[in-house]
Amino acid sequence: MSEKIGKHIAIYGKGGIGKSTTTSNISAALAEAGYKVIQIGCDPKSDSTNTLRGNTYLPTVLDSLRDGKKIHLDDISVKGFSGVLCIESGGPVPGVGCAGRGINAAVNLLQELNLFEEFKPDYVLYDVLGDVVCGGFAVPIRDGITDRAYVVSSSDFMAIYAANNLFKAIQKYEPSGGAKLGGVIGNGLTAVYSQAIIDDFTKKTGTKAVGYVPRSLVVSQSELYGKTVIEANPESEHANIYRSLAKYIAENEDLVVPNPLGAAELRDWAREWGDKIYQIESGVVGEPAEAI
Ligand code: ADP
Ligand code: MG
């Protein structure tokens, strides 16, 4: 593959965990700082860039390909907040085909259209659904498209389970030119022990947390306006959290191949935390989990 133009970063995580919210705020923060940014939604939900472009209509790459007409960049992209170029790969017709297919189609089309040579981005962010890292959804970390991935996770077991699966995919593909891991972004944290759970999981897997975004009404309210926090509430504490996260991700070169936990290890680890939370909440130290 030819020399990359810009830093290409994949952001994974389970559905509904806050990938698009986090990615869009990172894009907005980088654009606000003067960088040229492209955000590519790689989720059949096709709503990755909504808050960067005021919820306006944007045809997806797959929908445009289905029309069979010659596609121009303007047909499948729109400039949003601070000039962030927004693209949605799209998904299959419900009930037909592979959900990850759009990603491959989008990546191929963008190369054909010489997007990166012409737009000359500083950063390209891929917002990728990571519930199952199947062939299609692994494309951004597998085929040399990005060289670094981050995962958005809460302290909930299903989110950590999805993060652990991404670690497995990275471990598998990295030796043949796949991406490495930049770290874990904690999102939607509420309980006092949420951060401790994420920290413990990253320690166990040889990775690290690169930022923590607490749950906040500022995020919900900005979304209702069809805007990122950076645009709708630029003076808020949350805007600054996203700015710091963006700066960290932009500059971080400490990339690793994670050591995912095996199925039994992950189950035991979760159970230990179940016991700890019981002890914290009940004030009873040393009771086994069966006592609940
Ligand atoms: P995903 O892209 O992973 O499917 P979204 O970014 O669309 O998830 O987020 C799902 C919902 O959670 C959205 O309504 C979003 O506003 C909300 N959300 C995400 N992060 C936060 C947060 N830190 N605080 C409050 N709400 C959040
Ligand atoms: Mg999303």
- Which H helix or E strand runs over 242? helix 237-251
Residue 50 CA to ligand 1 center (angstroms) comes to 12
Residue 130 CA to ligand 2 center (angstroms) comes to 10
Q: Which ligand is nearest to the CA of 47?
A: 2
Q: Which ligand is nearest to the CA of 162?
A: 1
What is the SS3 assignment for 255?
coil
**Distances 291 to 140, 267, 268, 276 between C-alpha atoms, Å:** 45, 19, 17, 13
Q: Is 131 tagged catalytic?
A: yes
CA distance 292 to 288: 8
Letter string b/e over residues 148-161, b meaning 16 or more CB atoms within 10 A of that residue's CB: bbbbbbbbeeebbb
pTM of the predicted structure, to 2 decimals? 0.94
Q: 237-244: which pairs have CB atoms within 8 A and are 24 or more residues apart?
A: 238/213, 238/214, 239/25, 239/29, 241/211, 241/213, 241/214, 242/22, 242/25, 242/26, 242/28, 242/29, 242/213, 243/29, 243/32, 243/33, 244/211
Output DSSP code: residue 284: -
Q: Rounded mean pLDDT of the chain? A: 92
Which neighbouring-strand residues pair with 55? none
Residue 266 banded pLDDT, cuts 50, 70, 90: very high
Quick one: pLDDT at residue 271?
Answer: 94
Question: In the predicted model, what is the mean pLDDT of residues 120-126?
Answer: 97
pLDDT reading at 289 higher than 70: no
pLDDT reading at 59 higher than 90: yes
Question: In the predicted model, what is the mean pLDDT of residues 261-280?
Answer: 92
Question: In the predicted model, what is the mean pLDDT of residues 154-164?
Answer: 95
Quick one: pLDDT at residue 292?
Answer: 47
- When mean pLDDT is compared across 14-18, 179-183, 188-192, 260-264, the lowest value belongs to 188-192
The residue with greater pLDDT, 144 or 287, is: 144
Task: Tell me the best of 194, 219, 225, 242 to mutate to test the pocket of ligand 1, counting ligand atoms within 8 Å of each CB and taking the most.
Answer: 219
